[in-house]
Structure 1
Amino acid sequence: MRVEFELLGHVRAFLDGAEVDLGPAQRQSVLVALLMSASPDVQMDRLAARVWEDQPPPGAAGTLRAHISRLRRTFRGALQIDRGRLGYVVHTDESAIDVVAFRDLVARARDAEDDVLAADLFGQAMTLWRGEPFAGLSGEWVERTRSALQRERHAARLDHNDVRLRLGRHTALASSLAEEVAAHPLDERLRAQYLLALFRSGSTAELLRQYEDIRVSLAEELGVDPGPALRALHQRALSGDAGVRRAVPVGFGCHLPSEVPDFVGRADEVVELTTDPPHLALISGPAGVGKSTLAISVAHRLRPRFPDGQLYVRASTSAEALETLLLQCGVVPSELPSGPSARTAMLRGRLSGRKVLIMIDDLHDAGQITDVVPGTPDCAVLITSRSLLATTPMGRRIRLKPLRERESVEMLTSLVGAGRAVTESAALRDIASACGHLPLALRIAGARLSAMPSAPLVALAERLRDHRARLDELDVGVASVRTSIGFSYRRLSEDDRTALRWLGVLSANDFTERQLSTLSGRPDVSRTLERLCDAGMIDPSGPGTGGEQEFRMHDLLGDFVREQARRIPPEVRRAGLRRLAGASADVAPRPAAGRTWFAREPFGSSAAEAVTRGRHAEAG
């Protein structure tokens, strides 16, 4: 059971993604005091002092025991709070606490040798903040801890600002720094960053006003002059020193996410996409097949060919995509046009005459492409989508399939370690097969195994053989095969979702148009199958034994739609199975396999028996 804690804002907790009720503020304070302790062994008197501001009332120990008892029941074993020799010992995955995750990301960003990676890590750290820490809680210890965390955040922001300035993102940075300067008016390092961003953006008048503002503030409130660094920057800006500007890279900088370090396979696709890259290229494929990972890797390889910048946007609405791209091009928010046509014109104007690569991740509406594709042939756009986007002209299309077995084993080996992989090579291949060689599933399985270094691989391999529980096993909270497939499923129309649910009544993942039509009672399902192919939910698999076109679902999608098939009322399922059982023998592409067409209990076992003992008995 996965537990997650959010302390950087209102105190919240989640069990397997569902928020739990933490009770009154005092109980939340107890939880915060336990989670924020530098030592896992929290003494009773120290815990009481944190909750009651060094003045615990009579009976405080009993109240604490009651709160801790309720917390144990709330988390149902996912958060263990044991009584130790001196107090309480807390056992939980520290990475599930947003404060710990924030500190880890900041530390990794500060250690990163690459500024693009550092900026990405700092950005991830900042997104964890949802407001002031422990919002709504009070007390002296809470206030002290809250202030310390806010100081950590401010220090991280300053380091992040330095990285963004080195990357040439000064125009976008100047706008956000204005708010930070207002909140920290006497911070000379912050003000120096703001002055540098203003100078590089050509706002010399505002630079001079800001310098005078901090000079007067420091003199009136602290009785000091600006420090040497701030004075030197002011003088260099006044003299037009080119050295102040020299740090600005040509173009818009790199906004791509960092590469996945253990990227494997896809050698042919990488060559195809990096050799003479077209103006518009599409990587499509089903959920979890690794489209984004491939595209990011390719985009980084193409950086030298597009020296004026590499932009990145995760597809949402056209308006949001345009805004993101314009901000990455250095447009300040106050200068953004209001209408989409004006924004498109501004983006194309910014890109004109430049060599820029744009990556659009997870596009699901072909209409979004028109607004963001640049008009200049020197730019390129790399798109990932679960859909084929069949009506959109593309210079190159790549339809990703699951990895080969060798590549799947290589990925798992990189995650679990070569020693375990060699010792239990057969179990590793079984895990790869049970994951359907789908990169997302492999990564989740690898993450689970790496978190249990002493556990035998065969244990997970055995659990993954159970199709009914396989999707439960391929879930680590932050990554889930069921969630990923569910996102694609919810994008479909209700008619198409209904068709998939009917396919879940079958136990096999191969089927024909006539099978689906007969089972669902819909005379024409050809357009439905076209839409499901376009959405990446199914694939044509060639003609069957009788020459009829067959289709195939990925094994994990088959597990998902069998879960969804439970939504079909039992009597409706049985009627569909009776229709299929009564159909002529040529409905089935492989009659000899008739016994496997129907789902396991509770889906229509009587109909399956009717097939095997009735018309199709001769095939058994």
Structure 2
Amino acid sequence: MVGVLGNLEVRVGDVPVPVGHARQRSVLAVLSTEVDRVVGLDLLIDRIWGGRSPGRSRSVVRTYVSNLRRALDSTGITITWQGNGYRLTTDLDAVDLHRFRSLLGSARASDDPRRALELADEALALWRGEPLAELDTPWARTVREQLHLELTAARVDRADWALECGRHGDLLPELTTRAAEQPLDERTAGQVMLALYRTGRQANALEHYQHTRRLLAEELGVDPGPALQRLHQRILTADPTLTPAAPPRRTVRTVAPRQLPAPPALFVGRRDELDRLDSALDASDTPSTVVISALAGAGGIGKTWLALHWAHRNVDRFPDGQLFVDLRGFSPDGEPLDPGAAVRGFLDALGVDPGGLPTDLDAQAALYRSLVADKRMLVVLDNAATVDQVVPLLPGTPTCTVLVTGRTRLASLVDRHGAAHVQLDVLTDAEARQLLTRRLGAARIDAEPEAVDELVELCGRYPLALAITARHASFRPQGPLAEFAAELRDLGLDVLDNDDPAASLPAVLSWSLHGLTTELREAFALLAVAPGPDIDLPAATSLTGLSAVRTRKALHALEDRSLLDRRPHGRHAMHDLVRAYAATLVQDLPEPVRRAALERVVDFYLHTAHTADRHLNPHRAPIRLDPPATGTHPHPLPDYPAALAWLGSHHPHLLAAQHTAATHARHQTVWHLAWSLNTFHQLRGLHHDDLEVWQAAADAAAHLPDSTTHPHILRLLGRAHSELGQQEQAVTHLHHALDLAAHQENPAQQAFTHLALAQVWERRRDDRQALDHAHHALDLFRSCGQPVGEAIALNTMGWTAARMGDHDTARDHCRAALALHRHHDDPGGEAHTLDSLGFIDHHTGRHHDAIAHYQQALTLFRTLDNTTEAADTLSHLGHPHAALGNHEQARAVWTEALELYREQGRDTDADQVRQQLDDLDKAAAGRDVT
């Protein structure tokens, strides 16, 4: 809270936030008095310096504001430049001045003097000294004068409410002092007279009236007003209405309340959660422990369902009664229930006569604790929003058990009161099916098992969604379940909506947003449209445009509200239905906000992926990216392992980012993402994904202003087709790419396309054409001075010559390639060439040399974490082992290759290795027979 009713300070909870020196604090003070209003720069300067501003006051103010922004970064308070001035944005209640006025407004609007008195006391407690004490300008003096008038009015009003509540004895010293300070104030005089009369001092009350009358005559020449005269007359006649009725004697009936609502029908599952609640109850024998189990989860997840089922299952363990209250923390019908009202409800249930209740909440809570002391009672506090709602309702003895449900984590309940936290998730598949079976009958469920599976999947095993779906199906008992699945599939969240808010999943989820700041609501909506299945802090920081600190706090706040789930490795995700609901809120954001957020997060993925690709393939000709959108913070990747790990973790997000870019016609980004993913796809053998991203790039190519990108895209699209065995399509795209590269006089692009064509013809078992294309590539690489490309072409020629039986030529080409790769520090190319040399050695009977070359290649591939090529080299390595009779070694490497091929979905290669293993086993069996 920002405090201006005294020396300026900022606190988050009880922790002070340093906001700099006095003049800098003065800037915050001025802006805090005008929350959500623009204070012009000239006006701000005048209010701070009062006509004595320094020569560089504008620059000084900008510096102060910059410092304040950094200091307030973690508080949720923002200062922005708008038009010709600064606007401070925060909740009004976060500034003591505005909270003071709000509380008094509520007090004056209340018909209950006790409630008005509570609000007034809370308002007056905000005053800690002289307002704006560090400012001495005409504006500050005027504001102070006005605030003192408001303070005086508040104190006088409070006195009226206190007198109505029968507090005349406590009030009299204060009133006497105030009357001495303001002897001509007739309202204060009347309050003093009434307090004196009610304390049995009628003569003193009449004397005070005469004293006031004389002063008014002497100072102002007037008589007391009608109100004071009437009060004087009533005191003279001892009017019985002046004396408040004596509070009735407090009576308490011996009552064992039974407030639990009916047990939930058709309850299923939740075995683990029920066991945890049982364990918490069984541990209640520990001295001085009140068992508190805080059930948390999103709206519609089944918290109350579980709490009531458990309560009724254990009701015999609470013979002295059960109390239940809906605290309405997340409800459609207004504000959360005031804890005072909840306490009074419990006292009424416990038999306390309402007329005998103390007026103070603390006294009421103390009475409540006294009444339940040493009793074996269950207290269910349902739908709590804050710990402040819960604490006054906690018993004080270890015999009572408290069960709290809420959508927030209620962290301090766990920290300070030892609550056992139980986080609810969606149902298991079996539980979800059981719920549908209980509601629709086994015959209907068993008749359409596939439709039931789809319903469970589309509902995401979310209890309320399943219940709503079951309700729809029960209303149409003859309707096939497949029809309901189709409706849910086609219409999504709309099927789960209803005019009755309690029967509508979107409505129930919307209640979780009550009390969220604008910043949190915006973050919640944007997270729904972020690319990929989940998100981590760096990506979320770019998405929201907030600082990392504020983004982390936003993620934690949404997690505390059960709107976001924490996943391993620092990732956050939404349940599909929660995400679908959040996505409906995105349309409420201004279009520039939505567009900028998606540009930032897509640029985050693009620029980070591009950095990763440069680590994986530093010899690859780079592409030039546009600068990232303002507010984007790409993730730094220091080296090859970090780059490979990041790409592995974020691969689904990168595919989704490309789709997002395509949807929003960011054609350049589409092709750049395809490029940045290409090396990783080759390392991991993700050929289907590679084809998908290059097809998207080809679709975007027509919209790209730079035609030199077209042969790149067509070449890599053709290569992707070739990797999947689609050689006809590959040849078509590659020849088109070759024609474009020749037309553009781009020899490097022609060379790489020839290499791709060599690979296609090798796969089509036409080694002569493959060798011809490799020769063309070699000549072109040499002409444009690309030694690494030259090495790749030499290795391709060597490999192809070996396949054709020309092993001497093959060895010469591969040795020349190996020297170039090593000279230019290209371990990937070196590994490929060593594999080729292993092949040549094996086929020329030099099996020991073959094993050595294969082992070197395998070590390099493993160092690069290139599992695709490692699998091939393992498959090759088994052959020289088998030729030397090293059958166990051959079996070991082929078994490992088989596992890798299966993991990579390379069925043809896996079948071939499986056959090699079978042949090895047959050979071994033949030897055993012999």
Is residue 272 from structure 1 mapped to residue 298 from structure 2 by the alignment? no
Shift, 1:535, TM fit: 1.2
Q: Describe how 1:406-421 pairs up with structure 2 within 5 A.
A: 406-421=430-445
Shift, 1:432, TM fit: 1.3
Per the alignment, residue 495 of structure 2 pairs with: 473
Q: Secondary structure at the match of 2:474?
A: helix
Residue among 666, 670, 683 paired with 1:609: 670
Distance 1:526 1:275, change over 3 A: closer
For the Cα contact (< 8 Å) 1:362–1:384, is it kept in 2? yes
Shift, 1:356, TM fit: 1.0
C-alpha distance after superposition, 1:142-198 (max 9, x if no partner): xxxxxxxxxxxxxxxxxxxxxxxxxxxxxxxxxxxxxxxxxxxxxxxxxxxxxxxxx
For the Cα contact (< 8 Å) 1:327–1:333, is it kept in 2? yes
Residue among 254, 262, 265 paired with 2:266: 262
C-alpha distance after superposition, 1:240-288 (max 9, x if no partner): xxxxxxxxx9742311011112000011211221245142111111111
CA RMSD of aligned residues (A): 2.5
Per the alignment, residue 483 of structure 2 pairs with: 459
Residue among 301, 305, 324 paired with 1:289: 301
Per the alignment, residue 497 of structure 1 pairs with: 521
Is residue 538 from structure 1 mapped to residue 564 from structure 2 by the alignment? yes
CA–CA separation in structure 1 for the residues paired with 2:359 and 2:658: 55
Q: Which runs of 5+ in 2 are unaligned?
A: 1-252, 285-290, 328-336, 613-634, 636-646, 682-692, 694-930
Q: Describe how 1:110-189 pairs up with structure 2 within 5 A.
A: none
Is residue 381 from structure 1 mapped to residue 402 from structure 2 by the alignment? yes
Q: Secondary structure at the match of 1:311?
A: strand
Residue among 308, 314, 318 paired with 1:302: 314
Per the alignment, residue 556 of structure 1 pairs with: 577
Q: What residue identity is the alignment partner of 2:670?
A: E
Residue among 240, 243, 257 paired with 1:253: 257
For the Cα contact (< 8 Å) 1:509–1:554, is it kept in 2? no
Residue among 321, 330, 337 paired with 2:342: 321
C-alpha distance after superposition, 1:92-113 (max 9, x if no partner): xxxxxxxxxxxxxxxxxxxxxx
Q: What residue identity is the alignment partner of 1:420?
A: R
Shift, 1:613, TM fit: 4.3
Identity %: 29
Q: What residue identity is the alignment partner of 1:323?
A: R
For the Cα contact (< 8 Å) 2:523–2:544, is it kept in 1? yes
Distance 1:571 1:357, change over 3 A: same
Shift, 1:611, TM fit: 6.0
Q: Secondary structure at the match of 2:600?
A: helix
Per the alignment, residue 700 of structure 2 pairs with: none
Higher helix share: 2
Q: Which runs of 5+ in 1 are unaligned?
A: 1-248, 544-548
Shift, 1:485, TM fit: 0.8
Distance 1:601 1:290, change over 3 A: farther
User: Greater relative contact order (Cα 8 A, min sep 6): structure 1 or 2?
Assistant: 1
Q: Describe how 1:358-377 pairs up with structure 2 within 5 A.
A: 358-377=379-398
For the Cα contact (< 8 Å) 1:506–1:598, is it kept in 2? no
CA–CA separation in structure 2 for the residues paired with 1:611 and 1:327: 69
Distance 1:536 1:592, change over 3 A: closer
For the Cα contact (< 8 Å) 2:533–2:653, is it kept in 1? no
CA–CA separation in structure 2 for the residues paired with 1:472 and 1:592: 27
C-alpha distance after superposition, 1:420-466 (max 9, x if no partner): 10101111121111111111111111111101101111111112223
For the Cα contact (< 8 Å) 1:611–1:617, is it kept in 2? no
Residue among 353, 371, 396 paired with 2:374: 353
Residue among 559, 562, 567 paired with 2:588: 567
CA–CA separation in structure 2 for the residues paired with 1:291 and 1:421: 26
Shift, 1:572, TM fit: 2.9
Distance 1:574 1:254, change over 3 A: same
Q: What residue identity is the alignment partner of 1:540?
A: R
Q: Secondary structure at the match of 1:406?
A: helix
CA–CA separation in structure 1 for the residues paired with 2:552 and 2:459: 30
CA–CA separation in structure 2 for the residues paired with 1:314 and 1:439: 20
Distance 1:259 1:373, change over 3 A: same
For the Cα contact (< 8 Å) 1:280–1:380, is it kept in 2? yes
Q: Describe how 1:233-244 pairs up with structure 2 within 5 A.
A: none
Q: Secondary structure at the match of 1:436?
A: coil
Q: Secondary structure at the match of 1:283?
A: strand
Is residue 401 from structure 1 mapped to residue 425 from structure 2 by the alignment? yes
Q: Secondary structure at the match of 2:427?
A: coil
Q: What residue identity is the alignment partner of 1:595?
A: L
Per the alignment, residue 96 of structure 1 pairs with: none
Distance 1:600 1:321, change over 3 A: farther
CA–CA separation in structure 2 for the residues paired with 1:264 and 1:459: 25
CA–CA separation in structure 2 for the residues paired with 1:502 and 1:395: 33
Per the alignment, residue 591 of structure 1 pairs with: 651
Q: What residue identity is the alignment partner of 1:554?
A: H
C-alpha distance after superposition, 1:472-523 (max 9, x if no partner): 1012433111011100023322211111121122254411111111122222
CA–CA separation in structure 1 for the residues paired with 2:450 and 2:582: 29
Q: Secondary structure at the match of 2:572?
A: strand
Per the alignment, residue 435 of structure 1 pairs with: 459
CA–CA separation in structure 2 for the residues paired with 1:365 and 1:432: 33
**Higher deviation after alignment, 374-383 or 520-529:** 520-529
CA–CA separation in structure 2 for the residues paired with 1:614 and 1:571: 28
CA–CA separation in structure 1 for the residues paired with 2:302 and 2:658: 31
Shift, 1:331, TM fit: 2.1
Report how many aligned residue pairs link the two structures.
366
For the Cα contact (< 8 Å) 2:530–2:543, is it kept in 1? no
Shift, 1:567, TM fit: 2.1
CA–CA separation in structure 2 for the residues paired with 1:596 and 1:458: 30
CA–CA separation in structure 1 for the residues paired with 2:389 and 2:662: 43
Q: Secondary structure at the match of 1:263?
A: coil
For the Cα contact (< 8 Å) 1:505–1:573, is it kept in 2? no
CA–CA separation in structure 2 for the residues paired with 1:294 and 1:603: 43
Q: What residue identity is the alignment partner of 1:430?
A: E
Q: Describe how 1:21-60 pairs up with structure 2 within 5 A.
A: none
CA–CA separation in structure 1 for the residues paired with 2:565 and 2:386: 20
Bigger Cα Rg: 2
For the Cα contact (< 8 Å) 1:386–1:536, is it kept in 2? yes
Shift, 1:599, TM fit: 7.8
Distance 1:506 1:345, change over 3 A: same
Is residue 422 from structure 1 mapped to residue 418 from structure 2 by the alignment? no
Shift, 1:338, TM fit: 2.2
Shift, 1:605, TM fit: 5.1
Distance 1:410 1:598, change over 3 A: farther
Distance 1:472 1:494, change over 3 A: same
CA–CA separation in structure 2 for the residues paired with 1:581 and 1:368: 42
CA–CA separation in structure 1 for the residues paired with 2:454 and 2:430: 12
Q: What residue identity is the alignment partner of 2:432?
A: S
Distance 1:605 1:301, change over 3 A: farther
